[in-house]
Amino acid sequence: MEYSEIIVWRIKSLCGKRGITYNKLASRSGLKQSTVDNIVRGLTKNPRIMTLHKIANGLNMTISEFLDFKEMNDVSFENDFNDDEDPNAI
């Protein structure tokens, strides 16, 4: 599973478990509905950390809690870089 798919799965899973619609999540997160929709529909492949932070807050979680789950910890990022990106860059 790719990084973007894991993020989508996490959002869908948490919203489902908590009975939160994507519209409600957007409202709670201070994000536009279209931003959340684009992430969940897979149109935004690499959401910014600030966006994920806001989503986590909308779910009453810290960003650490949001990102700390088995599937995220198992993902390998070594092949996710473009040829022109330096994987060692900070």
DSSP state letters, 8-72: HHHHHHHHHHHT--HHHHHHHHT--HHHHHHHHTTS-SS--HHHHHHHHHHTT--HHHHH-SHHH
Domain 3-71 has CATH 3.20.20.140: no
pLDDT digits (tens, 9 = 90+) for 47-83: 999 999 999 999 999 999 998 877 666 666 555 555 5
Q: From 26, 28, 50, 30, select the one nearest 38 (Cα to Cα).
A: 26
pLDDT digits (tens, 9 = 90+) for 3-41: 788 899 999 999 999 999 999 999 999 999 999 999 999
Q: Please, are residues 25 and 36 in contact by the beta-carbon 8 Å criterion?
A: yes
Domain boundaries, the chain: 3-71
